[in-house]
């Protein structure tokens, strides 16, 4: 099938690559000329396990191509995905300008029927806006082509995106058209062989399903972080509590890890966007507002521990920081907890020696060169000349470090762990002063 994808980001590029891999002919359109040029030269703009060989082999086989030529993209695909960003506007509501710009572009260039599939995360009612924009543009140009607009939200996880798209848990289709459902079933049939994963529903429910899923996951995290704060207040250990509640099958062990807050491009913005669109519709989403507020303060938690430990005297301190990306297996730094920490440390007069397996380039891009940030080639090098260590991201390679070396290299045997990677008793045996989240302020 001929498929066009507008937006070559985390969602669009991965989706395009897996579609090409199963034999569809895919054209990707982006407004970023540099990104398109680099992709054509084999440079994959994001780190995502398994993505580079997939994109390269399909590009070489001619099954996927990259362009900024929107007219060519629209002419190519009978199915056109919208996978552009929906960043927050000044109020935190989802900004639809990129989505609507693509809708207008499609209508401007189309000369036959198109199935327009929205994959971006968008507020309920956006499909109606896309339809209206397309209808208006067509009528302005005196064109009378027909089109279908569907909602097909994306559930991939950064860090596991290729696998998630190759073997999706579910494919949500929001449509009111039988022919559109048939077309999408055919498009997705290579990913739907084991059992039927396609759930068809009305468009508004599909749009809300995406927000509901992300908000539920964010709620689990903020709930556990609230419990970790209570564990500190009451002198309990959140890790015991976690295991205790996870053993209830109605709760389960998944996604109930306490930590230094959630980040990334999705949870913060989607919780905020749903709360804002609820309030615009006259409804106060109190749970969502609380989820957001808890996360906001949780991201400051590590700095609070550090600040208290040093009674606010951080001037001239050098901090070794392991982990910059918002979670492991990605180079994505959007809304990462490490950024809140670094910015607070800098404001307090400390400097940072940081290491991350994948996000160093992105950190450099965001912060440029500054005297109080050194990006180090290994996690051990980040310890050289540092006073203490902070861990912000739970990369696998941080889980069993050489504690003797850590102690030897740091000027103080002090470790702040934002992801609860280690046992406090073991840290005590190594002679490390250890702070973790919700495990007693320090041991
Ligand atoms: P991204 O910022 O990585 O990529 C968006 C791309 O769209 C950019 O390359 C940008 O240049 C391009 N673009 C903007 N306007 C365009 C236009 N008019 N024509 C063509 N290209 C244009 O975004 P992303 O992380 O891939 O997210 C895209 C959408 O998918 C968002 O709504 C997001 O909430 C949602 N989503 C993201 C994830 C994730 O893990 N990143 C998961 C599920 C859903």
Residue ranges for the chain with pLDDT beneath 70: 441-443
Considering the domain architecture, whether residues 273 and 343 belong to the same structural domain is answered as no
The distance of Cα 100 from the centroid of its chain, to the nearest Å, equals 22
In ligand 1, which atom is closest to the CA atom of 105? 18
Residue 10 CB–ligand 1 contact under 6 Å: yes
> Which residue, 125, 140, 293, is CA-closest to 211?
125
Would you call 124 helix, strand, or coil by DSSP? Answer: coil
Q: Is residue 442 one of the residues assigned to a domain?
A: no
Total domain count, the chain: 3
Residue spans of beta strands (DSSP E) within 360-417: 373-375, 388-391, 414-417
Q: Domain boundary residue among 168, 201, 234?
A: 201
Q: Is 266 a catalytic residue?
A: yes
pLDDT of the residue at 55: 98
Considering the domain architecture, whether residues 235 and 161 belong to the same structural domain is answered as no
Residue 334, marked binder: yes
Residue 391 backbone dihedrals phi, psi, to 5 degrees? -115, 125
pLDDT of the residue at 87: 94
Considering the domain architecture, whether residues 397 and 314 belong to the same structural domain is answered as yes
pLDDT of the residue at 441: 56
Residue 23, marked binder: no
Asked if residue 388 lies in contact with residue 366, where contact means CB atoms within 8 angstroms, the answer is no
Q: Is residue 206 one of the residues assigned to a domain?
A: no
Asked if residue 101 lies in contact with residue 63, where contact means CB atoms within 8 angstroms, the answer is no
The distance of Cα 27 from the centroid of its chain, to the nearest Å, equals 24
Considering the domain architecture, whether residues 50 and 156 belong to the same structural domain is answered as yes
Distance CA(232)–CA(237), nearest Å, equals 8
Distance CA(433)–CA(414), nearest Å, equals 5
CA nearest ligand 1 atom 4, residue: 9
Residue 7: partners with Cβ closer than 8 Å, 6 or more residues away:
29, 30, 81, 82, 83, 84, 85, 98, 102, 120
Distance CA(324)–CA(336), nearest Å, equals 7
Strand order in 147-151's β-sheet?
A: 64-67, 25-29, 2-6, 79-82, 114-118, 147-151, 171-174, 198-201
Q: What is the CATH number of the domain that holds 275?
A: 1.10.1040.10
Residue 263, marked binder: yes
Would you call 327 helix, strand, or coil by DSSP? Answer: coil
The H or E element containing residue 241 is helix 238-246
Residue 308, marked binder: no
Residue 327, marked binder: yes
For residue 13, the CA-to-ligand 1 centroid distance in Å is 9
Considering the domain architecture, whether residues 260 and 342 belong to the same structural domain is answered as no
> Which residue, 392, 398, 388, 395, is CA-closest to 432?
388
For residue 30, the CA-to-ligand 1 centroid distance in Å is 10
Residue 102 CB–ligand 1 contact under 6 Å: yes
Residue 256, marked binder: yes
Residue 436 CB–ligand 1 contact under 6 Å: no
Q: pTM here? A: 0.94
Asked if residue 413 lies in contact with residue 383, where contact means CB atoms within 8 angstroms, the answer is no
In ligand 1, which atom is closest to the CA atom of 269? 34
Distance CA(51)–CA(291), nearest Å, equals 33
Residue 255, marked binder: yes
> ipTM for the complex?
0.99
For residue 301, the CA-to-ligand 1 centroid distance in Å is 30
Residue 150, marked binder: no
Rg over alpha carbons for the chain, rounded to the nearest Å, is 24
CA nearest ligand 1 atom 40, residue: 158
Distance CA(58)–CA(65), nearest Å, equals 9
Would you call 43 helix, strand, or coil by DSSP? Answer: coil
pLDDT of the residue at 440: 79
> Which residue, 23, 384, 422, 362, is CA-closest to 188?
23
Considering the domain architecture, whether residues 189 and 280 belong to the same structural domain is answered as no
Q: Domain boundary residue among 201, 227, 247?
A: 201
Dihedral of CA 309/315/318/324: which sign? positive
For residue 235, the CA-to-ligand 1 centroid distance in Å is 44
* 388 strand-pairing partners: 319
* 151 strand-pairing partners: 118, 174
Catalytic residue (choose from 215, 260, 266, 392)? 266
Residue 67 CB–ligand 1 contact under 6 Å: no
pLDDT of the residue at 91: 87
Residue 225 CB–ligand 1 contact under 6 Å: no
Considering the domain architecture, whether residues 254 and 197 belong to the same structural domain is answered as no
Strand order in 388-391's β-sheet?
A: 373-375, 351-355, 318-322, 388-391, 414-417, 433-435
Considering the domain architecture, whether residues 283 and 420 belong to the same structural domain is answered as no
CA nearest ligand 1 atom 29, residue: 120
Would you call 403 helix, strand, or coil by DSSP? Answer: helix
In ligand 1, which atom is closest to the CA atom of 153? 44
CA nearest ligand 1 atom 44, residue: 154
For residue 333, the CA-to-ligand 1 centroid distance in Å is 15
Distance CA(202)–CA(237), nearest Å, equals 45
pLDDT of the residue at 150: 98
Considering the domain architecture, whether residues 186 and 220 belong to the same structural domain is answered as no
Q: Is residue 441 one of the residues assigned to a domain?
A: no
CA nearest ligand 1 atom 12, residue: 7
- As a dihedral over the C-alpha atoms of residue 270, residue 274, residue 276, residue 280, rounded to 10 degrees, the angle is 150
Residue 154 CB–ligand 1 contact under 6 Å: yes
Q: Domain boundary residue among 201, 219, 239?
A: 201
Residue 168 CB–ligand 1 contact under 6 Å: no
Residue 9 CB–ligand 1 contact under 6 Å: yes
For residue 294, the CA-to-ligand 1 centroid distance in Å is 27
Residue 418 CB–ligand 1 contact under 6 Å: no
Asked if residue 81 lies in contact with residue 265, where contact means CB atoms within 8 angstroms, the answer is no
Residue 261 CB–ligand 1 contact under 6 Å: no
Residue 84 CB–ligand 1 contact under 6 Å: yes
Asked if residue 265 lies in contact with residue 332, where contact means CB atoms within 8 angstroms, the answer is yes
Instruction: Quote the domain boundaries for residue 76.
Output: 2-201
For residue 258, the CA-to-ligand 1 centroid distance in Å is 28
Considering the domain architecture, whether residues 38 and 175 belong to the same structural domain is answered as yes
């Amino acid at each position: 099938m001929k498929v066009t994808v507008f937006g070559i980001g985390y969602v669009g590029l991965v989706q395009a690559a897996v579609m090409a891999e199963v034999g569809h002919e895919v054209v990707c359109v982006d407004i970023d000329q540099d990104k398109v040029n680099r992709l054509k030269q084999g440079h994959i703009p994001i780190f995502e396990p398994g993505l580079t060989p997939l994109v390269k082999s399909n590009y070489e086989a001619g099954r996927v191509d990259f362009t900024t030529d929107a007219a060519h993209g629209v002419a190519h695909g009978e199915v056109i995905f919208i996978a552009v960003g929906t960043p927050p506007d000044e109020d935190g509501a989802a900004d639809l300008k990129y989505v609507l710009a693509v809708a207008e572009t499609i209508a401007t260039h189309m000369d036959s029927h198109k199935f327009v599939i929205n994959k971006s995360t968008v507020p309920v009612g956006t499909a109606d806006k896309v339809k209206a924009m397309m209808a208006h543009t067509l009528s302005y140009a005196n064109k009378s082509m027909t089109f279908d607009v569907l909602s097909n939200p994306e559930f991939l996880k950064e860090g596991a995106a290729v696998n998630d798209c190759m073997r999706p848990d579910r494919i949500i289709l929001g449509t009111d058209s039988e022919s559109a459902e048939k077309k999408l079933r055919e498009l997705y049939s290579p990913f739907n062989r084991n059992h039927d994963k396609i759930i068809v529903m009305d468009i508004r429910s599909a749009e809300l399903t995406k927000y509901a899923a992300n908000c539920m996951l964010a709620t689990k995290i903020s709930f556990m972080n609230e419990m970790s704060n209570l564990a500190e207040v009451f002198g309990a250990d959140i890790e015991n509590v976690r295991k205790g509640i996870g053993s209830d099958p109605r709760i389960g062990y998944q996604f109930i890890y306490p930590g230094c807050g959630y980040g990334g491009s999705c949870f913060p913005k989607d919780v905020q966007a749903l709360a804002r669109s609820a309030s615009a519709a006259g409804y106060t989403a109190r749970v969502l507002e609380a989820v957001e507020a808890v996360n906001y303060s949780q991201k400051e938690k590590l700095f609070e521990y550090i600040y208290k430990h040093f009674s606010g005297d951080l001037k001239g301190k050098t901090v070794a920081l392991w982990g910059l990306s918002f979670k492991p297996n990605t180079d994505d730094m959007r809304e990462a907890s490490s950024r809140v920490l670094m910015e607070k440390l800098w404001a307090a007069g400390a400097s940072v020696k940081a290491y991350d397996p994948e996000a160093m380039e992105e950190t450099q891009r965001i912060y440029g060169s500054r005297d109080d940030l050194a990006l180090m080639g290994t996690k051990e090098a980040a310890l050289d000349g540092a006073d203490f260590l902070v861990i912000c991201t739970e990369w696998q390679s941080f889980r069993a470090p050489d504690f003797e070396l850590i102690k030897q290299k740091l000027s103080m045997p002090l470790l702040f762990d934002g992801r609860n990677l280690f046992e406090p008793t073991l840290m005590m045996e190594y002679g490390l002063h250890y702070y973790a989240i919700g495990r007693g302020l320090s041991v």
